[in-house]
């Protein structure tokens, strides 16, 4: 109920226009303050940090926070595509290119820096999306006793949401690979490891795509 005092409900703007009243197709790029986002994200991490049992639990919570964003973002971005390319991506490669391009462009204002297939023959279901300096980690210094943690797990959750929404169930994790040695060009380099589930590859094989 808008304007009801004393209740713990969402507050609505006084003119009654929420974000849902805005038209979906917005052509111009809308930018937000990076500082406000940094503070918000910092609080999200602190919130996720409460009552966690370990680092993987914390990453999992961040992942869960991002997941619904990804599912919704897929629909929104497809609606905004030109009508002839509004179909959802149907192959793994098309999906990953969509994430690398459209999704990253929408979220961070630039495409991801790289896209690779796992070179290990035992894991043909793994793909890597590479981001040299993730926006969410711009101001985050992970303490030494938690050096396995990457707060980009939130972004991994968004990517996972996009994959799940496009019917490519996957598990996405974020790993910081930079910062090992002094004077590196990208100390915050992060890899998003996309591990698709078995049935996705099975379907891909049946359709005869992705055989190289």
Partner 1 sequence: MLETRLSATVFALIIINKAGGLIYNKTFHEAGLNKISTNDLLVLAGTFHGVHAITARLNPIKNPAAAAGITAPAPNPAAPPGILTRPEPQSGLEVLESENFRLQCFNTMTGTKFLLFTDTAQANVDVTIRRVYELYADYVMKNPFYQLEMPVRCDMFDRKLLSYIREINSR
- Kindly list the residues in this chain that would bind partner 1 in the complex (CB under 8 A): 35, 38-39, 41-46, 49, 139-144, 146, 151, 179, 187
Give the number of other Cβ atoms within 10 Å of residue 120's Cβ: 8
Token pair for 10? 């969402």
Which of residues 63 and 125 has its CB atom nearest to partner 1 in the complex? Answer: 63
- CB of 34 vs partner 1, minimal distance in Å: 9
Which of residues 25 and 35 has its CB atom nearest to partner 1 in the complex? Answer: 35
The answer to whether 172 touches 157, Cβ cutoff 8 Å, is: yes
Which of residues 111 and 142 has its CB atom nearest to partner 1 in the complex? Answer: 142
- CB of 182 vs partner 1, minimal distance in Å: 9
Q: Provide the Cα torsion 98, 41, 192, 206; round to 10°.
A: -50
Which residues have C-beta within 8 Å of that of residue 142, sequence separation ≥ 6?
Answer: 149, 150, 151, 176
Which of residues 3 and 54 has its CB atom nearest to partner 1 in the complex? Answer: 54
Which of residues 118 and 132 has its CB atom nearest to partner 1 in the complex? Answer: 132
- CB of 59 vs partner 1, minimal distance in Å: 13
- CB of 9 vs partner 1, minimal distance in Å: 27
Which residues have C-beta within 8 Å of that of residue 149, sequence separation ≥ 6?
Answer: 55, 58, 59, 142
Structure-token match 């966690």, residue found: 52
- CB of 179 vs partner 1, minimal distance in Å: 8
Token pair for 174? 């974020």
């Amino acid at each position: 109920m808008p304007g009801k005092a004393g209740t713990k409900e969402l507050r609505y703007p006084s003119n009654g226009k929420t974000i849902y009243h805005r038209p979906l197709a917005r052509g111009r790029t809308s930018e937000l303050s990076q500082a406000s986002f940094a503070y918000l994200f910092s609080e999200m991490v602190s919130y996720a940090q409460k009552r966690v049992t370990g680092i993987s639990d914390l990453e999992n919570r961040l992942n869960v926070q991002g997941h619904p964003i990804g599912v919704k973002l897929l629909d929104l971005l497809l609606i905004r595509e030109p009508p002839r390319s509004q179909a959802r991506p149907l192959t793994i490669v098309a999906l990953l290119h969509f994430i690398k391009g459209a999704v990253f462009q929408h979220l961070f204002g630039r495409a991801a820096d790289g896209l690779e297939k796992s070179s290990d023959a035992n894991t043909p279901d793994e793909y890597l999306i590479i981001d040299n300096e993730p926006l969410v980690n711009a101001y985050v210094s992970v303490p030494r006793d938690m050096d396995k943690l990457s707060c980009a797990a939130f972004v991994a959750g968004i990517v996972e949401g996009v994959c799940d929404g496009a019917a490519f169930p996957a598990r996405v994790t974020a790993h910081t690979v930079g910062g090992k040695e002094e004077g590196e060009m990208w100390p915050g380099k992060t890899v998003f490891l996309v591990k698709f589930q078995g049935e996705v590859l099975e379907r891909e094989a049946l359709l005869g795509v992705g055989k190289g």
